[in-house]
């Protein structure tokens, strides 16, 4: 990889050759991929991008893969960025865009990391990939691996919503539903991966994954013609997404594609916000209970805390915690004003943005991108619980008229 110099431990600074099966440092720290930006600046131009297909692989010069590694089969990336005029007006910001990453092949941003895992597993010559996940890393790995003809072993906590489990079973994964929380699920996957030597797609453990996730901010920048917003709002669990988003922005800054870095908005659930707590108190992070219906960010022991905390601080970012009610209100608001259906964790960034607007922290001078990280169809039970049931009646126009009157609906 001519564009990659090495991998470096974010904890002790030790340097590693960037081999495909890289995991964590001997000291327990997580690794960061370090690029040769001088080389990339020569190789990649904005002009060159214009002719390429709209997938995450259009940014190959900024990705840690060999030049001849084939892009995995599923179309990952190229998700829409909508200007949300009505929602922006309601929230009182100057401009608001919604990046709908629920439109990836398995319906979450995690596809960006899983496609990278498949590419790197192939480079490593591996036939089997494994991970533990709150759900989306699992379903995206299962789908992307299935398309590439690779076998998967996947560990999910028993609370994983049905939509995600259905995806796993349909993609033919070996699924282990662990009777415990995400932390316990992770621990079982860890010892099983050690026991059988599978390619490891665990969040943060494999340093290539957040390099895949960073393509979401590369896309946002390109979709905005390289004019960056003031803020970028994202939901945070393990912290790989927020760190990846920041990495992508810094990459673009380093190669001279953008001249401004947005401030990150880290949104977590009130019932589980160990990363935001560490930012707010200035202390080290420590574990927290996993007490939220936003299952994808119910992460009490974040695996990528070091990189996430660094990203939020470097960006001079904001942290905001939202209740489950606020999350579900944001789900409905995105649905009614934008026609975008996000899963609870998928809309938590928007819920956080709404709260910051209500608090007057963000206002009419500001431009914001909010990333919806997962599709609402993954968890229909919660959506129905909060958005309610339809009108229910037999084939009878008079009853329909009555019902409209009762509910004050103007036909
Ligand atoms: C995984 C996930 C997140 C959070 O990403 P982390 O890297 O765990 O911080 C947010 N939303 C959705 C839908 C996810 O699947
Ligand atoms: Zn180290």
pLDDT one digit per residue (tens) for the chain, 411 residues: 999 999 999 999 999 999 999 999 999 999 999 999 999 999 999 999 999 999 999 999 999 999 999 999 999 999 999 999 999 999 999 999 999 999 999 999 999 999 999 999 999 999 999 999 878 999 999 999 999 999 999 999 898 888 889 999 999 999 999 999 888 998 999 999 999 999 999 878 899 999 999 999 999 999 999 999 999 999 999 999 999 999 999 999 999 999 999 999 999 999 999 999 999 999 999 999 999 999 999 999 999 999 999 999 999 999 999 999 999 999 999 999 999 999 999 999 999 999 999 999 999 999 999 999 999 999 999 999 998 888 999 999 999 999 999 999 999
Write the residue with the smallest CA distance to atom 14 of ligand 1: 296
345 lines ligand 1 (CB under 6 A): yes
Residue 187 CA to ligand 2 center (angstroms) comes to: 21
pLDDT of the residue at 135: 86
212, 374, 382, best to mutate for ligand 1 pocket (most atoms within 8 Å of CB): 374
pLDDT of the residue at 53: 96
pLDDT of the residue at 324: 98
Q: Of the ligands numbered here, which is closest to the C-alpha atom of 25?
A: 2
pLDDT of the residue at 134: 78
The CATH fold assigned to 81-108+209-387 is Rossmann fold (3.40.50)
Q: Of the ligands numbered here, which is closest to the C-alpha atom of 13?
A: 2
343 lines ligand 1 (CB under 6 A): yes
239 lines ligand 1 (CB under 6 A): yes
Q: Residue ranges of the domains in the chain?
A: 81-108+209-387
pLDDT of the residue at 204: 80
Residue 16 CA to ligand 2 center (angstroms) comes to: 10
Residue 308 CA to ligand 2 center (angstroms) comes to: 17
SS (H, E, C) the chain: CCCEEEEEECCCCCEECCCCCCCCCCCCCCEEEEECHHHHHHHCCHHHHCCCCCCHHHHHHHCCCCCCCCCCCCCCCCCCEEECHHHHHHHCCCEEEEEEHHHCCCCECHHHHHHHHHHHHHHCCCCEEEEECCCHHHHHHHHHHHHHCCEEEEEEECCCCHHHHHHHHHCCCEEEEECCCHHHHHHHHHHHHHHHCCEECCCCCCCCHHHHHCHHHHHHHHHCCCCCCCEEEEECCCCHHHHHHHHHHHHHHHCCCCCCCCEEEEEEECCECHHHHHHHHCCCCCCCCCCCCCHHHCCCCCCCHHHHHHHHHHCCCEEEEECHHHHHHHHHHHHHHHCCCECCHHHHHHHHHHHHHHCCCCCCCCEEEEEECEEHHHHHHHHHHHHCCCCCCCCCHHHHHHHHHHHCCCC
pLDDT tens digits for 77-95? 999 999 999 999 999 999 9
pLDDT of the residue at 248: 98
Q: Of the ligands numbered here, which is closest to the C-alpha atom of 342?
A: 1
Model confidence, pTM: 0.96
101 lines ligand 1 (CB under 6 A): no
Name residues with Cβ closer than 5 Å to ligand 2, which is an ion. 9, 11-12, 14, 25, 27, 29
Residue 311 CA to ligand 2 center (angstroms) comes to: 18
79, 102, 106, 108, best to mutate for ligand 1 pocket (most atoms within 8 Å of CB): 108
- State which ligand 1 atom lies nearest to the alpha carbon of 342: 13
pLDDT of the residue at 365: 97
- State which ligand 1 atom lies nearest to the alpha carbon of 210: 7
236 lines ligand 1 (CB under 6 A): yes
157, 345, 372, 383, best to mutate for ligand 1 pocket (most atoms within 8 Å of CB): 345
18 lines ligand 1 (CB under 6 A): no
pLDDT of the residue at 183: 86
Write the residue with the smallest CA distance to atom 1 of ligand 1: 296
331 lines ligand 1 (CB under 6 A): no
């Amino acid at each position: 990889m001519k564009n990659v110099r090495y991998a470096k431990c974010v904890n002790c600074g030790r340097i590693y050759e960037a081999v495909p099966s890289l995991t964590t440092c001997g000291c327990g720290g997580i690794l960061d991929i370090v690029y040769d930006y001088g080389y990339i600046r020569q190789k990649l131009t904005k002009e060159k991008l214009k002719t390429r297909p709209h997938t995450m692989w259009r940014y190959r010069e900024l990705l840690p893969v060999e030049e001849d590694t084939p892009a995995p089969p599923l179309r990952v990336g190229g998700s829409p960025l909508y200007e949300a005029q009505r929602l922006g007006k309601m929230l009182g910001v100057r401009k608001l865009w919604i990046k709908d990453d629920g439109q990836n092949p398995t319906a979450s941003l995690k596809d960006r990391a899983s496609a990278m895992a498949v590419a790197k597993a192939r480079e490593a010559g591996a036939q089997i990939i494994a991970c533990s996940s709150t759900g989306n890393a699992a379903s995206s790995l299962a789908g992307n691996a299935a398309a590439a003809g690779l076998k998967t072993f996947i560990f999910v906590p028993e609370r994983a919503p049905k939509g995600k489990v259905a995806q796993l079973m349909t993609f033919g994964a070996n699924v282990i539903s662990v009777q415990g929380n995400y932390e316990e699920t992770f621990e079982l996957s860890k010892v099983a991966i050690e026991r059988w030597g599978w390619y490891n797609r665990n969040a943060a453990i494999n340093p290539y994954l957040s390099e895949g996730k960073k393509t979401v901010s590369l896309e946002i920048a390109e979709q905005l013609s390289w004019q960056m917003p003031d803020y970028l709002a994202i939901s945070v669990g393990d912290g790989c997404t927020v760190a990846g988003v920041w990495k992508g922005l810094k990459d673009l800054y380093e190669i001279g594609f953008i001249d401004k870095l947005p401030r990150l908005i880290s949104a977590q659930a009130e019932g589980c916000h160990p990363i935001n707590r560490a930012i707010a108190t200035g202390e080290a992070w420590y574990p927290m209970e996993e007490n939220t219906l936003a299952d994808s960010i119910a992460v009490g022991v974040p695996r990528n805390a070091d990189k996430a905390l660094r990203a939020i601080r470097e960006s001079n970012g904001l942290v905001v915690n939202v209740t489950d009610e606020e999350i579900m209100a944001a789900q409905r608001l995105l649905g009614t004003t934008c026609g975008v259906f996000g899963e609870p964790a998928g809309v938590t960034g928007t819920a956080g943005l709404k709260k910051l607007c209500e608090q007057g922290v963000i206002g009419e001078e500001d431009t914001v991108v909010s990333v919806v990280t997962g599709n609402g169809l993954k968890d229909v039970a919660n959506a129905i619980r909060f958005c309610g049931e339809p009108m229910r009646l037999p084939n009878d126009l008079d009853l329909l008229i009555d019902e409209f009157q009762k509910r004050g609906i103007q036909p």
